[in-house]
Structure 1
Amino acid sequence: MAGQPTFEAREQVTGSDLGNLPAWDLTDLYPAPESAELTADIALLETEARDFAARYQGKLADLTAPEMLACIEAYQRIDITAGRIMSYVGLRYYQNTLDPARAKQMGDLQGRITDITTPLVFFSLEFNRIPDQTYEAVFAAADGPARYKPVFDRMRAMRPHQLSDELEQFLHDTSVVGAAAWNRLFDETTAALEFDVEGETLGLEATLNLLTDHDRGRREAAARALAAVFGRNVKLFARIHNTLAKEKAIEDKWRKMPTPQYGRHLANHVEPEVVEALKNAVTAAYPRLSHRYYALKAKWLGLDRLQVWDRNAPLPTASDRVVAWDEARATVLDAYAGFSPRLADLARPFFDKGWIDAAVTPGKAPGAFAHPTVTTVHPYVMLNYLGKPRDVMTLAHELGHGVHQRLAAGQGELLASTPLTLAETASVFGEMLTFRALLARTTDPAQKKALLAGKVEDMINTVVRQIAFYDFECKLHAARAEGELTPDDINALWMSVQAESLGPIFEFMPGYETFWTYVPHFVHSPFYVYAYAFGDGLVNALYAAYEGGLPDFQAKYFDLLAAGGSKHHKDLLAPFGLDASDPKFWDKGLAMIEGFIDELEALEA
């Protein structure tokens, strides 16, 4: 796009008070969008997919153990090539979703890769028809694919929900004009939204950021600008949610999924009752956590009632200084090194080698993420860094993901992917390390209180708010099963969970009922959000074990991260003496949040 910086090579984008913000160097994936290497990989993928199907289709049940190992390794190589291609064009697109050339390349290649990989649809379907006795024998053999068994155990758990080969191929072929197309519409719509805040035109990320501004009038102006724009676009967002929920319901019906959430639980390798125990523990704790904390916050702000623009407001005593990029980097790396020099060493290349894209730029996707790309390259982290203390915590969070992805890469492409139940472990642990390091070096009581309050708010946002989000999704999908939902219907569902989770101290402005519209997880990854609460509760319990002096904690922690998706959460947590299926497990994590609120109350005395 004219006037926009290009990001093919690493460069620095300078913010007003932030210092030099890094941009991605994507050349570790491909030299350029029209490079010979990218063209060659597309051709290679086509050849490998066709050859794989010719060699193995109709023969999986007859393979010897060594032949099955060779088959799986060939499949993994194809997975890496496809992943590398789509990672590259996807990351370029998220840097500037308004650039027609980037959008076209991603759309074209999504369609091309879908066509190329259609011959591979047989693999999981035929694999799941291998008789149990044959499957167990092949995977038990010393010269076979034993190490890959966790991947295929999870695949075979889908057997009751598998459709005919023709239907599975049809779903594969139509995926680019189904959920993927609606996802893209959502992304491009949110990226293009503009908000008039007191005469200044801002994008979504910058407007949301104002909700943490010290100036209450500025926060209110931002909240009302968000409400106005969301209100004007609510019909489109309602259409997107209606369509995706209905599409999911149709596929779930054909697959005989017992609930809308069941597929997510299956993919996460977590039992539905474990998630239900988490949800019940958190909702029961609303009065002890969010209701209690926000009542304290109202008192600190000198207000009888809180408005939605006060929810993430800084305390009056909190510093409003901008944290420059170099300071944010030093803060996080020092905190990581305090836990283990190895952790800091794993994080450092993200800063030094162009693995982070930090600046807020026109067209850039909002939010933050760490994308693992493929195990033969390395992850990339995206931020929208504006120098707020929360941005420093976001950096710590996403670097935790990046470190986790680097360690898990040793498992290989098929085993590296961590189930969502454990995917937030390193990220939330990285935040906790950073917070504890900052708290330890803060001596001023007012700043200590502000820091502690900020951490409580982050934990409430991670646990209470995400479980409220999950509750909203559950209600939305249940209601959609009864028929089309109007924007007012969805608004009412949103407000029911907001009032319950935030508590009676809040007064909700007209327009807040539309704030569900911008949450990307509802669109991209239905029912993903409980993973944040799962991760926070799990990390709180882990951190308690660390503080309690559990022997060899660091070594056990690195082993947990390096396991990727090779083990069940029960096996990974056993060395720490923890069990997520124990209903009391979640109370340990919630008790840590309560303890922080106790400390805040004590500071009042």
Structure 2
Amino acid sequence: MADASPLHPDRWSLDSWFSGFGKADYSDFKTKLVSDVEALKNQASALGSDLAEIARVINALESFSDRLGHLSSYLGCLSADDANDEAVKADEAWISTLDAESTKLQATLRSALAKLDDATFARLLSDASLKNAEHSVKRMREEGQKQMTAEMESLAADLNVNGLHAWGRLYDTLTGKMEFEMTFPDGHTETVPMARRRALMSEPDRKLREAAFHAGQKPWNDHAVTLAAALNGIAGTRLSLYDRRGLPHFLNTPLFDGAMSRKSLDAMLEAIHTNIDLPRRALRKAAKLQGTSALHYFDLEAPQIAAPEEKPLTWDEACDTVEKAFSPAYPRLGSYFGGMLKDRWIEAQPRAGKRPGAFCTGSQLKHEERIYMTFHGTVHDMVTLAHEAGHAWHSCVLRPARSFAASYPMTLAETASNFGEMILLSGLMGDPNITEATKAYLLDQEMLRAHAYLINIPMRYEFEKAFYTERAAGEVSVSRLRELMTEAQRNLYGDTLLDDGTDPMFWAYKMHFFITGVSFYNFPYVFGYLLSQALFARFKVEGASFLPRYEAFLSMTGSATCEEVVKQTLGEDLTNPEFWATALKAMEPSLVGYEAIK
């Protein structure tokens, strides 16, 4: 809900990044990037056994990547802010070409590193200019040992601009312009932007949720063939490249990107499936509170216990609530969040033309972060704000590190964002003035969150895994995509969904399936949620004395694997299902309290 005149700005400013899109500083920045990448490609191609020259090119790549990331983040912000801006879209397409040139550069450098024997590579890592970049350089070499020839990688990068990434741009453009005609329960009809649909399906009024669900399905069904072509195109391209690179399984790349092992992933999923009845109990209670035998898909994000105040939250109220939860528990985080508001680093205003979803981005060049979301006055939106603030704080903690040591995997990124959510919810629950009605409401919100991470997101993983398995044999039809989605929902939700309560089109409107930069944009969320449960359990026991240790954890995330970070900070083994089971069972006290609500 937009305030008439909010004290906390709900529109961000990007002025510190560039004076404006298309302005002189912006154009000059683009020109310099183009000349620099060409020079670096030539230098990388000429690399031989001169270790000092290899180190120099590695450092030059780090600087170039900072600047390329800065421009890419800027364009991503502008594009999300106005999905109809054709000039920005043109530059997004242009930067995809520059990304391809950067990919060629990196492939050439990785090939040079892969040619070094172990002893020579060890001498390279001892170069003083590469201090604190060892982890990243080792990963470059490992990738180099698993890639195609430099010429083939260069061709793949070129083709991806107008192939793989073009499918993603098509999805963003198509969905950013989607809207649907909806008849509200009171009988009036509106044209609703698709970006608003999720908020409508989070409303307490079940008739409103149902209307938004069914009316909002029409555009997805109308465009199902196009969306299926995009999904097949994205997955098919990846599978072809995996095969050419000699990668035996489609999970190898997302696991490498997540800096975690298959053994850790399997241990986590084993713990979830073994203990699946815990989050299912929460859904059964939700159905009981709703007065139905089970839930429909459009019920899954809706509160079953109304907020004590019936009016929607204002933006100012949401910001103040988050800041007041952060500051006593984690003063440095609270101060940082207040600074984000003051400096206008958060975009939250509801407007037509905005892209759906929420994200945190930033610039290593400027050492600044930005949060993008659309605020519609729900508690869910407020939790999203805390989630994205956790991401932003993670980047802030890593500012002193060099860029190669500040680039962390999504698995560990999601830990920080979930930690932010948990501080918010814990702060609200710990308020001495909290009423029983408010406590019940917050327990309901906590169970919504647990369901999302322990059932819904694992369901997305199971769908994507099944889809990639079938896509390896050929294109997957719209009807089969619907079947795979329904099967995944039935497998994870069990008896908690009504007979007609699945959503076969979820594959189409879940943006994460269409992100071309990474695949399996799902299990890292679960990883982060459960790991944050483990971290937060330590925080509750140790109090403020844990926070320096937590920041040490954040500081390590760009310099080690997930297994190494957790072993050094928590002394735990991620490949042990019991670690994950213990983290999952942390929800049980809240679940028991939820089940006791009359």
TM-score normalised to structure 2 length: 0.93
Contact residue 195 and residue 207 of structure 1 kept, 8 A: no
2:30 corresponds, among 32, 39, 42, to 42
Deviations 1:2-42 (A, max 9, x none): xxxxxxxxxxx955697765212111211111222122222
Distance of 2:573 and 2:321 partners within structure 1: 32
Contact residue 17 and residue 322 of structure 1 kept, 8 A: no
Distance of 1:550 and 1:436 partners within structure 2: 13
Deviations 1:514-562 (A, max 9, x none): 1221111111032121011000100101111111227831101111222
Deviations 1:357-389 (A, max 9, x none): 111222211110001232433111101111101
Change (3 A) 1:218 1:504: same
Deviation of 1:469 (Å): 0.5
Distance of 1:195 and 1:511 partners within structure 2: 21
The residue that corresponds to 1:323 in the other structure is 313
Contact residue 424 and residue 535 of structure 1 kept, 8 A: yes
Which of 224-233 and 428-437 deviates more? 224-233
Deviation of 1:144 (Å): 4.5
Change (3 A) 1:364 1:558: same
Distance of 1:77 and 1:485 partners within structure 2: 42
The residue that corresponds to 1:187 in the other structure is 172
Is 1:90 the counterpart of 2:73? The answer is no
Is 1:549 the counterpart of 2:538? The answer is no
Deviation of 1:460 (Å): 1.3
The residue that corresponds to 1:601 in the other structure is 595
Query: Which structure 2 residues correspond to residues 20-35 of structure 1 after superposition, within 5 A?
Result: 21-35=9-23
Is 1:106 the counterpart of 2:92? The answer is yes
Which of 280-289 and 189-198 deviates more? 280-289
Query: Which structure 2 residues correspond to residues 147-186 of structure 1 after superposition, within 5 A?
Result: 147-186=132-171
Query: Which structure 2 residues correspond to residues 456-475 of structure 1 after superposition, within 5 A?
Result: 456-475=447-466
Is 1:276 the counterpart of 2:266? The answer is yes
Deviation of 1:60 (Å): 4.7
Contact residue 536 and residue 589 of structure 1 kept, 8 A: no
Unaligned runs of 5+ in 1: 1-12
Deviation of 1:296 (Å): 1.1
Letter in 2 for 1:443: I
1:585 corresponds, among 564, 579, 594, to 579
- SS at the partner of 1:151? helix
The residue that corresponds to 1:453 in the other structure is 444
Is 1:384 the counterpart of 2:378? The answer is no
- SS at the partner of 2:337? helix
Structure with larger RCO (C-alpha < 8 A, sep 6+): 2
Contact residue 246 and residue 481 of structure 1 kept, 8 A: yes
Distance of 1:238 and 1:428 partners within structure 2: 31
Change (3 A) 1:23 1:60: farther
The residue that corresponds to 2:526 in the other structure is 533
- SS at the partner of 1:33? coil
Change (3 A) 1:138 1:119: closer
Matched residue pairs, number? 588
The residue that corresponds to 1:368 in the other structure is 358
Deviation of 1:281 (Å): 1.5
The residue that corresponds to 1:338 in the other structure is 328
Contact residue 411 and residue 563 of structure 1 kept, 8 A: no
- SS at the partner of 1:297? helix
Contact residue 18 and residue 323 of structure 1 kept, 8 A: no
Distance of 1:107 and 1:144 partners within structure 2: 34
Contact residue 49 and residue 117 of structure 1 kept, 8 A: no
Distance of 1:203 and 1:509 partners within structure 2: 26
Contact residue 409 and residue 564 of structure 1 kept, 8 A: no
Unaligned runs of 5+ in 2: 184-188
Is 1:490 the counterpart of 2:476? The answer is no
Deviation of 1:444 (Å): 2.0
Distance of 1:385 and 1:556 partners within structure 2: 33
Change (3 A) 1:289 1:237: same
Contact residue 306 and residue 506 of structure 1 kept, 8 A: yes
Letter in 1 for 2:257: A
Distance of 2:341 and 2:300 partners within structure 1: 32
Which of 437-446 and 114-123 deviates more? 114-123
Deviations 1:30-87 (A, max 9, x none): 11112221222222223322333444533353223xx554332222111122222222
Distance of 1:117 and 1:551 partners within structure 2: 43
Which of 322-331 and 69-78 deviates more? 69-78
Distance of 1:117 and 1:236 partners within structure 2: 28
Cα RMSD (Å):
2.1
Letter in 2 for 1:512: D
TM-score normalised to structure 1 length: 0.92
2:409 corresponds, among 412, 416, 419, to 419
Change (3 A) 1:466 1:169: same
Letter in 2 for 1:58: A
Distance of 1:261 and 1:277 partners within structure 2: 15
Deviations 1:291-326 (A, max 9, x none): x11111111112223222222222244343211112
Deviation of 1:229 (Å): 2.3
Is 1:559 the counterpart of 2:549? The answer is no
Deviation of 1:176 (Å): 1.0
Distance of 1:430 and 1:53 partners within structure 2: 41
Contact residue 298 and residue 304 of structure 1 kept, 8 A: yes
Letter in 2 for 1:463: L
2:291 corresponds, among 297, 302, 317, to 302
Deviations 1:413-451 (A, max 9, x none): 222111122111111001000001111125322221121
Which of 574-583 and 530-539 deviates more? 574-583
- SS at the partner of 1:213? coil
Which of 426-435 and 159-168 deviates more? 159-168
The residue that corresponds to 1:312 in the other structure is 301
The residue that corresponds to 1:3 in the other structure is none
Which of 226-235 and 310-319 deviates more? 310-319
